[in-house]
């Protein structure tokens, strides 16, 4: 059964196939040297217009993404940290608390879900995707199958999940999802080897193309891990390489850049580097990276927070929005939105409201940071504690 929002999305953004066809004829007719043998004619996704619209909605001013796609196991770790058992009921109670925070949609435009949550109901029996849609929040879905060792590399990883992806995504679309997430990682201390960078970029490009064919806006996330003693220059250099490869392969796979979102790491020194960087330095390096690697056709750049503290993640985002950018520069935070909320809740029904207030406080702070207007007034000391974990996984 289609939710109200599903129906709305379908009827208001019907793909205009004729228009796309004619644009492609123009491209194909453009004169080019006879030696070029590659075909420029790529079939546009039947969902082209809808993808552009979905990406624009998510990248709307003052809003960003709530990443709540912790797998059963990772959600279990979060629950364990507050002394709760990892049962489906406890996961449901926590996710109900998150999605039903009153007014969340003012600050949050998209929520990334784990498969369990896409089909899950709240404790009151409402579909979680419907609660999100009522809040004006677009439901998204994590579609990768996680990291495994990359044979022939220096103990590096690759991300699984391409097998069967098209049919899984078609089902997710039917269930109400409108965007997808695929997280792969690149490790600086382990190389990164040319092989690992190429594999990460190719996997992301294939995933992005398949997602667009199935109506989901792909979030492209090559996370450059914080692990290591390297300085900020080294992170910058690796990030340049990773994004160059990713865009090369996305172009090769005919990914439509107007219908994707990116989830990059900010350019920071390694977690074990002696020299720390200020939010202004992080913003300077990160914006330099984006300007030299990311085409303006990309509607939104939704940063991940990695191991940054809640406040640090907000400050860094704010610093990047002090002057106009060609893209919407925003957030896709998990721990940096949820940490205080989870601790405040502690699994007790009487704390639900206070926990939702804690979530709204962080969401609002990041909304202000997206607009470049965050001042840092009234931040608690606990929100300033770092959350770096070695080899972090979802």
Ligand X SMILES: *[C@@H]1O[C@H](CO)[C@@H](O)[C@H](O)[C@H]1NC(C)=O
Judged by CB under 6 A, the residue of 7, 72, 167, 194 near ligand X is 72
| Min dist. Cβ of residue 52 to ligand X (A) | 32
| Binding track, positions 111-150, relative to ligand X; x by CB under 6 A | -----x----------------------------------
| Binding track, positions 271-310, relative to ligand X; x by CB under 6 A | ----------------------------------------
Return the number of the residue (155 or 322) whose C-beta is nearest ligand X: 155
**Using rule CB under 6 A, residue 391 touches ligand X:** yes
Single out the catalytic residue among 169, 221, 310, 379.
Answer: 221
Contact status, residue 210 vs residue 169, Cβ threshold 8 Å? yes
CA distance 83 to 347: 8
Return the number of the residue (19 or 272) whose C-beta is nearest ligand X: 272
Return the number of the residue (116 or 357) whose C-beta is nearest ligand X: 116
Return the number of the residue (51 or 196) whose C-beta is nearest ligand X: 196
**Residues for the chain: how many in total?**
394
Residues in contact with 195: Cβ distance below 8 Å, sequence separation at least 6, in sequence order? 150, 152, 153, 156
CA 68 to each of CA 30, 77, 99, 242, 278: distance values in angstroms, whole numbers, following the listed order? 45, 14, 10, 26, 28
| Min dist. Cβ of residue 161 to ligand X (A) | 12
Contact status, residue 212 vs residue 178, Cβ threshold 8 Å? no
CA distance 196 to 198: 5
Instruction: Kindly identify the residues of this chain, within the stretch 42-61, that bind ligand X according to CB under 6 A.
Output: none
Tell me whether residue 241 is one of the annotated catalytic residues: no
Single out the catalytic residue among 263, 310, 312, 379.
Answer: 263
Tell me whether residue 145 is one of the annotated catalytic residues: no
Instruction: Kindly identify the residues of this chain, within the stretch 153-192, that bind ligand X according to CB under 6 A.
Output: 155
Return the number of the residue (155 or 375) whose C-beta is nearest ligand X: 155
Q: H-helix or E-strand containing 142?
A: strand 138-142
| Min dist. Cβ of residue 74 to ligand X (A) | 11
| Min dist. Cβ of residue 141 to ligand X (A) | 13
| Min dist. Cβ of residue 189 to ligand X (A) | 9
| Min dist. Cβ of residue 262 to ligand X (A) | 25
Residue from 121, 120, 74, 101 nearest 345 by CA? 101
Cβ neighbour number for residue 249 with a 10 Å cutoff: 20
Alpha-helical regions (H) of the chain: 4-12, 17-29, 48-58, 72-81, 88-99, 115-118, 128-134, 165-174, 194-213, 232-252, 279-293, 310-320, 335-345, 352-370
CA 320 to each of CA 151, 252, 262, 278: distance values in angstroms, whole numbers, following the listed order? 38, 30, 15, 12
Return the number of the residue (187 or 367) whose C-beta is nearest ligand X: 187
- How many residues bind ligand X (CB under 6 A)? The answer is 5
| Binding track, positions 74-93, relative to ligand X; x by CB under 6 A | --------------x-----
Residues that bind ligand X (CB under 6 A): 72, 88, 116, 155, 391
Catalytic residue numbers read 221, 263
């Amino acid at each position: 059964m289609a939710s109200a929002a599903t129906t709305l999305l379908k009827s208001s953004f019907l793909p205009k196939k004729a228009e796309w066809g004619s644009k492609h004829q123009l491209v194909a007719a453009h004169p080019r040297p006879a030696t070029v043998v590659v075909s420029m004619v790529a079939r546009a996704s039947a969902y082209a217009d809808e993808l552009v619209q979905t990406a624009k909605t998510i990248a709307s001013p003052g809003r960003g993404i709530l990443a709540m796609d912790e797998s059963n196991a990772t959600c279990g770790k979060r629950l364990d940290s507050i002394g709760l058992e990892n049962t489906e009921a406890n996961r449901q109670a926590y996710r109900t608390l998150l999605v039903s925070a009153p007014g969340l949609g003012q600050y949050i435009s998209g929520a990334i879900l784990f498969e369990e949550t896409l089909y899950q109901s709240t404790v009151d029996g409402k579909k979680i995707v419907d609660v999100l849609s009522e809040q004006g929040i677009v439901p998204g879905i994590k579609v990768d199958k996680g990291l495994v060792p990359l044979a022939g590399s220096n103990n590096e990883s690759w991300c699984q999940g391409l097998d069967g992806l098209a049919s899984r995504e078609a089902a997710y679309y039917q269930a109400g999802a409108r965007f997808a997430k695929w997280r792969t990682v690149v490790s600086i201390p382990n190389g990164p080897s040319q092989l690992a960078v190429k594999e990460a970029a190719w996997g992301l490009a294939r995933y992005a193309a398949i997602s667009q064919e199935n109506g989901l806006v792909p979030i492209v996330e090559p996370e450059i891990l914080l692990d290591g003693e390297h300085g900020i220059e080294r992170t910058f250099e690796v990030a340049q390489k990773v994004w160059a490869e990713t865009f090369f392969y996305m172009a090769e796979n005919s990914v439509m850049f107007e219908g994707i979102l990116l989830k990059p790491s900010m350019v920071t020194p390694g977690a074990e580097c002696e020299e720390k960087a200020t939010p202004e330095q992080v913003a300077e390096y990160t914006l330099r990276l984006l300007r030299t690697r990311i085409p303006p056709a990309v509607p939104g750049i939704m940063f991940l927070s990695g191991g940054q503290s809640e406040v640090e993640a907000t400050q860094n985002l704010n610093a990047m929005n002090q002057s106009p950018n060609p893209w919407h520069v925003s957030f896709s935070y998990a721990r940096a939105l949820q940490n205080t909320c989870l601790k405040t809740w502690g699994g007790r029904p009487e704390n639900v409201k206070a926990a939702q207030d804690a979530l709204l406080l962080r969401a609002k702070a990041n909304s202000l940071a997206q607009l470049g207007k965050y001042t840092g007034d009234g931040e608690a000391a606990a929100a300033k504690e770092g959350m770096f974990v070695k080899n972090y996984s979802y």
